[in-house]
Structure 1
Amino acid sequence: MNAVIRTVRADEWEQVRELRLAALRDPVAHLAFLETVDAALACSDDFWRERAAGAAETGDGQVRQFVAEGPDGRWLGTVTALVERPSAEVRFGESAKVDQTHLVGVYVRPEARGGAVVEALFRAAVDWSWTVEGIRRVRLYVHEENARAAAFYRRFGFAPSGERVPVPGGVGAYEDEYELLPSASRDAVTG
Structure 2
Amino acid sequence: MDYEIRAVRDDEWPAVRELRLAALRDEMAPVAFLETYEQALEQPDGYWRDRTRNAARGEAARQFVAVGPDGRLVGTVVALVEEAGTDDFFGRPVTRRQAQIVGVYVRPEARGIGVTEALFEAAVAWSRGLEGLERVRLHVHEDNPRAAGFYRKFGFVPTGGAVPNPGDPSKSDLEMVLGEPGE
Q: What TM-score do the two structures reach when normalised by structure 1?
A: 0.92
In the TM superposition, residue 2 of structure 1 has moved relative to its aligned partner by: 1.1
Cα deviation digits, residues 33-90 of structure 1 (max 9, x gap): 010000001111000000000000xx23110000000111011100000000112332
The residue aligned with 1:47 is 47
In the TM superposition, residue 182 of structure 1 has moved relative to its aligned partner by: 3.2
The DSSP-based 3-state class of the residue aligned with 1:2 is coil
Residues 93, 149 of structure 1: alpha-carbon distance in 2 compared, 3 angstrom cutoff:
farther
In the TM superposition, residue 181 of structure 1 has moved relative to its aligned partner by: 3.7
The DSSP-based 3-state class of the residue aligned with 1:11 is helix
Cα deviation digits, residues 11-50 of structure 1 (max 9, x gap): 1110110000000000110110010000001111000000
Percent identity of equivalent pairs: 55
Task: Report if the CA contact (8 A) 2:97-2:132 is conserved.
Answer: yes
The DSSP-based 3-state class of the residue aligned with 2:181 is helix
RMSD of aligned residue pairs (Cα, Å): 1.3
Provide the aligned length of Structure 1 versus Structure 2. Answer: 183
Q: What TM-score do the two structures reach when normalised by structure 2?
A: 0.96
Cα distance in structure 1, aligned partners of 2:117 and 2:69: 18
Task: Report if the CA contact (8 A) 1:136-1:181 is conserved.
Answer: no
| 1:37 aligned onto 2:37 | yes
Counterpart AA for 1:67: V
Where has structure 1 moved over 6 Å in runs of 4 or more?
Answer: none
The residue aligned with 1:22 is 22
Unaligned 5+ runs, structure 2: none
The residue aligned with 1:127 is 125
Cα distance in structure 1, aligned partners of 2:167 and 2:118: 33
Residues 48, 105 of structure 1: alpha-carbon distance in 2 compared, 3 angstrom cutoff:
same
The residue aligned with 2:146 is 148
The DSSP-based 3-state class of the residue aligned with 2:173 is strand
Counterpart AA for 2:25: R
Counterpart AA for 2:21: L
